Structure 1
Amino acid sequence: MSDQAQALRNLIKNKSTEQTRNTRIITVTSGKGGVGKSNFTLNFALALQKKGFKVLVFDADIGLANIDVLMGMSPKYNLYHLLKKEKTIWEIIQTGYNDLQFIAGGSGFNDLIRLTEEQLDYFEKQISQLNGHVDFILFDTGAGLSKETLKFILAAQETIVVTTPEPTSITDAYAIIKMVHSMDYHTPFRLVVNRVTDLREGRQTADKISMVAKQFLQLDIPTIGYVMDDSSVSKAVKKQVPFTIAFPSSDASKSIGELADNFIANQVPSETQAGAVKGFLNKMLKMLK
């Protein structure tokens, strides 16, 4: 009887947590391709889950959607099936490593601009159900300054910009921040420097972007952290297993864990957080019309 009572208490506790959970919408982007953005998004999500948070990854990279590839999976359904009203939001959610939930985008986002009012209404009602379902929704967007990527950045509560120490990556990361700022949107940016040889290189790279943003845009761009350049990452990609799972003791995995700690410790409360998904959709659909 005591075991049954405890199980009931746990169920009630979990239900209570589900009802009061605030979902935060985060866009992950980069100024250029090839910086490891999707790999970062996947392993960052897994690190957040390891720390007790519930996360859903939304693969919003229209041309090169590959979150599923990094996990060696072939999703049966994606966003397209939702937009065509063939499946519900719950039916297109897939489960990957460590029960990480994700939604494959496929060509679905291209179809958003061609939806009828009835289809848009269905889409909004379905996606709205995610509010309170998870703590974080991470949108892995396409790299660069595409129209689709900009819409996600402008609609999200905050954006993580992934860069590397390469000069072209630094320049392009700053360019995407400058572009959004020029549109008079007050999107909070945070920076991640990937593939650094040491912390000194990571700090120098982040300082270059933050100092220029402060001087010319009057923007403060905090840095969440740095991810070490590590051969384990490419090995994990070839195995189609997230590197934090395949090589949990690697330098890159340790970096992701520290970065997740810093991200959580420096979360900025949002007045609209309780209705984050609804707010995101309102902004997104407004830009589509």
Structure 2
Amino acid sequence: MNDQAQGLRNLVQHQNEKSTRTTRIITVTSGKGGVGKSNFTLNFALSLQALGYKVIVFDADIGLANIDVLMGISSQHNLYHLLKKEKSIWEIIQKGSNGIEFIAGGSGFTDLVQLSDDEMNYFVEQVTQLHGYADYIIFDTGAGLSKETLNFILAAEETIVVTTPEPTSITDAYAIIKMISSMGHPVNFKLVINRVTDAKEGKQTADKISLVAKQFLDLDIPSIGYLEDDQAVSKAVRKQIPFTIAFPNSIAAKSVRLIAENYVKGIKPSDAAGRSGIKGFLNKMLKLTK
């Protein structure tokens, strides 16, 4: 009952904001695991929030959901409870570090393609309520290209690909871009290079991927920044506190804040007019899961 009451309060509190806000949907992915994708997603979201934007992080990493673990939180509710009509969308939204709102992952995404019509209608009706609730909803997808990850990438308005300067990571990042491009769906890709030794390596890695993508796929893939390898990140993971909070003056924290600023600066005023938001995202998801 308390959860329902809180959900109603949240809904009423944000009614005025919803009338003027158009939600932007972002997916974050990587060609392989272990490149720091989830850690980047969480701290990127916190950096956008620090710039004054309302953000929800949606943990869509099947089997390896760990956004809550990075914040030292034990999630009581996740997507599964929504899909099985046990909870409303407002009841599964939780608050983490610095009040960042997030939806925990779990087995729910695997069940998404097996929903009955009644369950799917409930899912769509519930998630549609997020339209205009936040400026950004960021989906942290699984590494590689599972069917579920592919659907999120194709339905979202843009995808940030996280990679490192390691040759295998670069190869896998390009492979996922190439595979999605070959399907004929327009996807707006952006690059983030993690764990670089210095700015030169970050630029060289991004340029290498962008050049090959332009030459062989005719895609323009800009980089929105890089993060230097920083011991503060691993220390923060052990503390289960996001590194932008645990070590706000660290190189990594400064880097991810700059990435957030670069991202926002790169959004053109005309983008808002063509933005389909959560409703467009759900319509695409429904078509892809049929």
- Tell me the TM-score normalized by structure 2: 0.93
Alpha-carbon shift at residue 270 of structure 1 (Å): 4.5
* Letter matched to residue 140 of structure 1: D
Which residue of the partner structure matches residue 3 of structure 2? none
Alpha-carbon shift at residue 116 of structure 1 (Å): 0.7
1:25-51 alpha-carbon deviations (Å, 9 max, x no partner):
000000000000000000000000000
Could you tell me how far apart the structure 1 residues matched to 2:14 and 2:62 are? Answer: 35
* CA RMSD, 1 decimal: 1.2
User: 1:153-192 counterparts in 2 under 5 A?
Assistant: 153-192=153-192
User: 1:135-214 counterparts in 2 under 5 A?
Assistant: 135-214=135-214
The answer to whether the 8 A contact 2:18-2:131 is kept is: no
* Letter matched to residue 68 of structure 1: D
Which residue of the partner structure matches residue 288 of structure 1? 289
Could you tell me how far apart the structure 1 residues matched to 2:250 and 2:231 are? Answer: 9
Alpha-carbon shift at residue 271 of structure 1 (Å): 3.7
Alpha-carbon shift at residue 148 of structure 1 (Å): 1.1
* Letter matched to residue 22 of structure 1: T
1:243-283 alpha-carbon deviations (Å, 9 max, x no partner):
0000000000000111111000001414442x410111111
Give the unaligned 5+ runs of structure 2: 1-12
Which residue of the partner structure matches residue 44 of structure 1? 44
Could you tell me how far apart the structure 2 residues matched to 1:53 and 1:66 are? Answer: 23
* Letter matched to residue 73 of structure 1: I
User: 1:38-117 counterparts in 2 under 5 A?
Assistant: 38-117=38-117
Which residue of the partner structure matches residue 245 of structure 2? 245
Could you tell me how far apart the structure 1 residues matched to 2:15 and 2:91 are? Answer: 21
Could you tell me how far apart the structure 2 residues matched to 1:137 and 1:200 are? Answer: 31
Change (3 A) 1:114 1:14: closer
Alpha-carbon shift at residue 16 of structure 1 (Å): 4.1
1:90-143 alpha-carbon deviations (Å, 9 max, x no partner):
000010011100001200001111111111000000000001000000000000
Which residue of the partner structure matches residue 280 of structure 2? 279
- Tell me the SS of whatever aligns to 1:118: helix
1:29-85 alpha-carbon deviations (Å, 9 max, x no partner):
000000000000000000000000000000000110000000000110000000010
Could you tell me how far apart the structure 2 residues matched to 1:285 and 1:167 are? Answer: 36
Alpha-carbon shift at residue 14 of structure 1 (Å): 7.5
- Tell me the SS of whatever aligns to 2:19: helix
- Tell me the TM-score normalized by structure 1: 0.93
1:118-177 alpha-carbon deviations (Å, 9 max, x no partner):
110000000000010000000000001111111110000000000000000000000010
Which residue of the partner structure matches residue 7 of structure 2? none
1:231-253 alpha-carbon deviations (Å, 9 max, x no partner):
00000000000000000000000
Could you tell me how far apart the structure 2 residues matched to 1:140 and 1:37 are? Answer: 8
* Letter matched to residue 27 of structure 2: T
- Tell me the SS of whatever aligns to 2:40: helix
- Tell me the SS of whatever aligns to 1:57: strand
Give the unaligned 5+ runs of structure 1: 1-12
Alpha-carbon shift at residue 18 of structure 1 (Å): 3.5
Could you tell me how far apart the structure 1 residues matched to 2:267 and 2:45 are? Answer: 15
Could you tell me how far apart the structure 2 residues matched to 1:156 and 1:18 are? Answer: 20
The answer to whether the 8 A contact 2:196-2:227 is kept is: yes
* Letter matched to residue 175 of structure 1: A
- Tell me the SS of whatever aligns to 1:195: strand
Alpha-carbon shift at residue 228 of structure 1 (Å): 1.1
Which residue of the partner structure matches residue 263 of structure 2? 263
